[in-house]
Structure 1
C-alpha cells in the first residue's frame, strides 16, 4: 500500500487542544495539510485557532465529547462540509487515572478512562472508516502508550485501556491489509504534557512519585518531539512507532523478560 504524504490531505486529530495534539496540528499545517482539530475544551480550540495564524484557513475546530457516540457520529459530515473530504485520522485524545490502586479507584473513574481512551478511539475509527475506504490512500494512527505493553503501578486501568487500543489497532491493521487504508500504532513514553493536570490525577500519591523521581536523569520528550516522530511514522507507513527513549528500552526489556520489565517500572515509580 502507498504511504500517505500529508501535504494537501485532510487529517482529523483528536485531543488537539494541547500537548502532543496541538503539536500534531501545527506539524501537519506546516507540511501543507488541512486539519480538523477535535477536542472537548472549546477554549483550547480557540487558542489553537489563534496560534495557527495565516494557516487557520486550513484549520477547522470541532468541540466533541468522544464519550458521546452521537457527537462522534456527526463529526465526519462536519469535517467533509468544511474540507470536502477526509484522508486520515490521528486518535491522540486520552486521559490517565489518579495514581492509586485498582482497589481504591472509583468505578466512575474507571469507566471514564475506558470511555475516552478505548471507546473514543473505537468510535472515531468506526465512523470515519467508511469515508477513508473511498479515498485513493488513507491512514489511521492510534496512540497507545508505553503503559499499554508494560504495567505501571497506580495506572493499571489506564494501561488496560491503552492495551485495548494496541490490540484494536493491530487487529485493524490485519483486517485492512489489501485496502487503501494504512494503520499505525504509536507507543509514546514519558512526554512533558499537562495530561496529569487535565486528567485530574494530581494528588498526594503523584506528588510522592514525582519527588522520588526528581533526582533521576529522566528527560521526557517534548510534545513537539513526540508529534514529529508520530507524523514521520504515519508518512513512512510504519506499523509500529516507539516515541521515546524509555519506550524503546522498555519494549526491548519486555520482549526479553516481561517480569523484569514490570519490576523495573515498579522500582523506578517508587509506587506504594
Structure 2
C-alpha cells in the first residue's frame, strides 16, 4: 500500500506507554501515523512522525490538526490517549485548581481534539474516534476519585457522541484497560492540600499502585484492542483490554453490588 493510500491516524500522548505502543502498531498495520506530545520531540527510532501538541491549549490543538490536514488532506482515526493523574490521596486533599487541571487534560483535552477533528471527518463522510478510558470509568477508585471522575466523564461523553455521529459515518469507541505497565505512576502529581490523617493510607496505596502496575498488562495489549476497534466493520462502543479488565467488567455488570464493593476494598486493602 502506497503512502497516499494509507489511512491517516492521529494519536495523542504517543511518546511512551500506551500511546507509543498504539502508534507503532497502527503504523505497522498500514496507517500513516502522527503521534503527539507536548514537545513533539522524536526520541529514538520510531515508525511514525511526532508533532507538537498540548491538549490543554485550544490554539495548539487547532495548529496540530491543521498541520496534519495540510500534509495529508484527511484524518481517518483519532486516538485520544493523553492523560495524567494525582497520586493516591483523599479527595479533600486535592484542590480545585488541581481538579481543574486533571479535567483539562483527561476530559477537556478529548473534547478539544474531537471538536477539531470531527468537522474534517464529517466532510469525508467517515472516521473513527477511539478514547482511552479505564476500568475506573465504571468502577469506583477510592483515593483516586478525581481521576475516576474524569474517566466516568469520558464514558458518558463518548457513548453520547457515538449516537450523534453514527449517521454521519463516524464511530466513537472507548477502550478500557486495567493496570498497565507504563511510566504513568512516575508522572503522578502530589496532592497539594495534604492532611496528616491520610498520610498512612496515601503511602500504602502508593505502594499498592506500584505493585499493581508492575504486574499489569504490557501496553501492547491495549494497542491491539485499539487496532481491533479501528478496523472493525461494526465497532462496539466499549472494549475492555486485558484479562483483568474483562473480568472486572463482567463483575460490575452481573455481580451483586455488595460483592463489587467488598472486592474494591479488599484489593486496595482499605480495611487492613
Same topology, TM > 0.5: yes
Of the structure 1 ranges 96-105 and 253-262, higher mean CA displacement relative to structure 2 is found in 253-262
TM-score by length of 1: 0.86
| Pairing 1:249–2:247 present | yes
State the partner residue of 2:33. 35
SS at match of 2:55: coil
- d(CA) in 1 for partners of 2:20 and 2:9? 13
C-alpha distance after superposition, 1:141-161 (max 9, x if no partner)? 011110011001111110000
Contact kept? 2:125, 2:168, Cα under 8 Å: no
Aligned mates of 1:27, 1:158 — CA distance in 2: 27
**Which of 32, 49, 53 is residue 60 of structure 1 equivalent to?**
49
Report deviation, 1:78: 0.8
Give the C-alpha shift of residue 106 in structure 1. Answer: 2.1
Q: 2:130 aligns with which of 119, 127, 141?
A: 141
Per the TM alignment, residue 75 of structure 1 is displaced from its structure 2 partner at its CA by 2.2
Partner in structure 1 of residue 194 of structure 2: none
1:208 aligned residue: 204
Distance in 1, matches of 2:79 and 2:42, equals: 20
- Secondary structure (helix, strand or coil) at the match of 2:79 reads strand
After superposition, the Cα gap between the structure-2 partners of 1:224 and 1:91, relative to the gap in structure 1 and judged at 3 Å, is same
Distance 1:209 1:41 in 2: 31
**How far 1:207 sits from its partner (Å)?**
4.8
Deviations 1:25-48 (A, max 9, x none): 110110121111111144xx411x
Which secondary structure state, in structure 1, belongs to the residue aligned with residue 179 of structure 2? coil
Aligned pair partner of 1:232 in 210, 228, 245: 228
1:221 aligns with 2:183: no
1:51 to 36, 39, 45: 45
* 2:170 paired with 1:171: no
Separation in structure 2 between the aligned mates of residue 229 and residue 239 of structure 1, nearest angstrom: 12
Shift of 1:270: 2.0
Structure 2 unmatched runs, 5+: 192-198
| Mapped contact 2:75–2:120 kept (Cα < 8 A) | yes
State how far apart, in whole Å, the 2-side matches of 1:207 and 1:148 are. Answer: 24
Displacement after TM superposition at 1:70 (Å): 1.9
Question: For residues 85 and 98 of structure 1, what CA distance do their matches in structure 2 show?
Answer: 38
Check whether the contact 2:86–2:190 (CA below 8 A) recurs between aligned residues. yes
Report the CA distance shift for 1:78/1:259 in structure 2 as closer, same or farther (over 3 A): farther
Of 190, 208, 214, the match for 2:179: 190
Q: Residues 232, 118 of structure 1: CA spacing in aligned structure 2 closer, same or farther, 3 A cutoff?
A: same
Report the equivalent of 1:3.
none
Deviation at 1:117, TM superposition (A): 0.4
Q: Given the alignment of the two structures, is residue 156 of structure 1 paired with residue 145 of structure 2, yes or no?
A: yes
- 8 Å contact kept, 1:86–1:132: yes
